[in-house]
Amino acid sequence: MSTQAQDQKRFEVIIVGGGLVGATAACALAQGGVQVALLDMSAPPRQWPVDSVDLRVSALTKASENILQTLGVWPGMLERGISPYKDMRVWDAKADGELHFDCADTIFNELGHIVENRVTVAALWDKLETLPTVTCVTDAKVSHLSLLPNGRRLLLADGRQLDADLVIAADGRDSSLRAMAGIEVTGWPYKQDGLVATISTENSHQMTAWQRFLDEGPLAFLPLRNGQCSIVWTLSPETAQSYLQLSDQDFLQKLEQASAGILGGMLATSARAAFPLRFQYANQYTESQFALIGDAAHAMHPLAGQGANAGLLDAAALAELVIKTKRAGRPLASKKYLRQYERWRKGDNLLMMTSMDAINKTFATHALPWVSLRSTGMNLINRTSPIKALFNNHAMGLRDDLPKLAKKQVCW
């Protein structure tokens, strides 16, 4: 990997956004022999104090683990530290509805892994360093995107120009590249914020992901490798902002009350942050010589932690089609494989997004007949093994029509 594009101005693929999804796409494409440039405004950290924890974590599914293992990234993640979770417990604060998913009911030793985002990104960039067909440009702010007869041109803020047969936007929910390409989005704000923090609890997390549905939204405790929990607490924006202003002691008291003491007392909290939640999807995933992946294509409610996993599947699917097109000797400026990518991923993502949206709306309803009905439904699923297995497999990413990398197969 070269670190700056000083001499080379033309690439087969340029990816804008060097986070979890963009770096995964770059890693896959480069292993398929594609000349790829990965652009970001700064290089990610790859070292940090031992006792620190990233506020941003992802619940990575088995499908995501397969992608990262096949790319050779997983060992670097293990070295930095990840946390398997073996159980998931979900319950309704308004009634007696409960769901319990246990890895003992599967062929795996765990349901998935809770991983700090910085751990995954650092391991990806470590791998990129070993790949000769990658150029990472870490001082790149894109100011303009234009269409060429056989590709796209990016103009950077410092005047540099870079051309490619294909440009991939992995620059997040508020993607500037998406806007430059003229792709519009459909969506709405949830009028909820996700409050995140790292918490020390009196009782062990027992390698279990806990989620309690409350009046304003779900409260999740995700197990971390150091024995602490990462929380994601869905609240109204007003409540979230007021909780950010509380003293640590007052906040911990609110949290302990909301958790119903499931992990005992709340002992300590890190700094806290909150971010607004949206339901949003790009009206199209592709344009001429241009594609969206990850949050640039879709943003969903975090209640089941599927956002990062959906993005990793996007990256694996698009990389597979690009590599297949290149190996067949067809131009990467072709529209055919981009249409394939959109058909492949858009439906799956919309299904996951609308499912999360429906669950969120279901638990936002407080009318007693509805509360009783959803509680009955949860308990019915919990007692019905085939339905429960179906839910479990879908949550683990083990479904049909997965990219090769998600099935632990190379695509090059």
* DSSP 8-state code for residue 182: T
Mean pLDDT for the stretch of residues 342-363 = 90
Please tell me the predicted confidence (pLDDT) of residue 5: 45
DSSP assignment of 130-164, as one string? T-TTEEEESS--EEEEEEETTEEEEEETTS-EEEE
If one compares 385 and 147, the residue with the highest pLDDT of the two is: 147
For residues 219 and 195, give the distance between their C-alpha atoms in angstroms, rounded to a whole number. 9
Q: Is the pLDDT of residue 218 over 90?
A: yes
Each residue of 15-26: pLDDT tens digit? Answer: 999 999 999 999
For residues 83 and 59, give the distance between their C-alpha atoms in angstroms, rounded to a whole number. 9
Please tell me the predicted confidence (pLDDT) of residue 8: 76
Nearest in space to 212 (alpha carbons), one of 115, 120, 303? 303
For residues 359 and 211, give the distance between their C-alpha atoms in angstroms, rounded to a whole number. 13
Let me know: does 116 contact 56? Beta carbons within 8 Å.
yes
Q: Is the pLDDT of residue 156 over 80?
A: yes
Let me know: does 80 contact 224? Beta carbons within 8 Å.
no
DSSP assignment of 299-360, as one string? E--GGG--HHHHHHHHHHHHHHHHHHHHHTT--TT-SHHHHHHHHHHHHHHHHHHHHHHHHH
Each residue of 238-266: pLDDT tens digit? Answer: 999 999 999 999 999 999 999 999 999 99
Q: Which two tokens stand for residue 281?
A: 């999807």
User: Tell me, what amino acid is at 356?
Assistant: M
Q: Is the pLDDT of residue 4 over 60?
A: no
- For 367-398, letters b (16+ CB in 10 Å) and e give eeeebeebbeebbebbeeeeebeeebebbbbb
For residues 273 and 195, give the distance between their C-alpha atoms in angstroms, rounded to a whole number. 6
Least confident span in 118-122, 261-265, 353-357:
353-357
* 348 phi, psi to nearest 5 deg: -60, -45
Let me know: does 88 contact 209? Beta carbons within 8 Å.
yes
Q: State the chain's mean pLDDT as an integer.
A: 94
Domains and CATH numbers, the chain: 10-46+57-81+119-187+279-365+394-407 (3.50.50.60)
Distances (CA, A) of 164 to 37, 84, 201, 321, 399: 9, 39, 50, 17, 33
Q: Which two tokens stand for residue 322?
A: 């690009």
Please tell me the predicted confidence (pLDDT) of residue 2: 58
Each residue of 55-83: pLDDT tens digit? Answer: 999 999 999 999 999 999 999 999 999 99
The percentage of the chain sitting over the pLDDT mark of 70, rounded to a whole number, equals 98
Q: Is the pLDDT of residue 6 over 80?
A: no
Q: Which two tokens stand for residue 318?
A: 């698009």
